[in-house]
Amino acid sequence: MKIALCTMLSLFMLIHATIPAHALSSRVGRGDKITTFSDISTTDSTIDRSICQNRYGKVFLTKDHPATIEGEQLVTTSEGQKIELIYQGGHIGNGIYSIENEYKFTSPNNENGKSVDLQLAATGFIGGGRASGVFSDGTCTGNVTIELITPDNSKKTSPKHNTDPITKQ
């Protein structure tokens, strides 16, 4: 049974590698998003909590930004974080989706511009405009919510907005 499951998982990975399902936009929805971290704690009680507060204490927006366009791999936020998608996983189907992504996350506060690997696992309803789940960077963990604040309907109304990054390159 284990072997079968592993085969299945690898198949899923393959499917995800071939279908151009793009990170958050195709799941949470296209448009500006607000990201909120909550219940922030440290993975180890010896770690100074203020590190995590500095990194994740502030809500940030990915607004008027290429992040609102499907396929974008690198975003900066209203608070100056740099977020680069380095791994993408999860599933979509039957009105629901899961996200299992990993990012190179650079916080604007201190730490000399050093980045951390930020793991994000979240779920949501297709069309619901909101994903919630958990995050970890190995030092800090907690809950996370990503919410679409300005649904981008221009796809339907204006064909010229269809600027697929693939055709732009």
Chain residues that interact with another protein, rule: CB under 8 A? 1-2, 5-6, 8-9, 12-13, 43, 87, 89-91, 93-98, 100-102, 119, 121-128, 132-138, 141-143
Q: How far is the CB of 57 from another protein (least distance, A)?
A: 18
Q: For residue 121, how many C-alpha atoms fall within 13 Å in the half-sphere facing its CB?
A: 5
Pairing of strands 130-136, 140-151: antiparallel
Whole-number Å distance between alpha carbons of 57 and 43:
16
Q: How far is the CB of 144 from another protein (least distance, A)?
A: 9
Could you give the 3-state DSSP secondary structure of residue 48?
coil
Closest CA to 107 of 77, 63, 138, 67: 77
Whole-number Å distance between alpha carbons of 126 and 9:
22
Q: How far is the CB of 113 from another protein (least distance, A)?
A: 22
78/143 with CB nearer another protein:
143
Q: How far is the CB of 167 from another protein (least distance, A)?
A: 30
* Token pair belonging to 128: 């619901």
95/159 with CB nearer another protein:
95
75/122 with CB nearer another protein:
122
62/141 with CB nearer another protein:
141
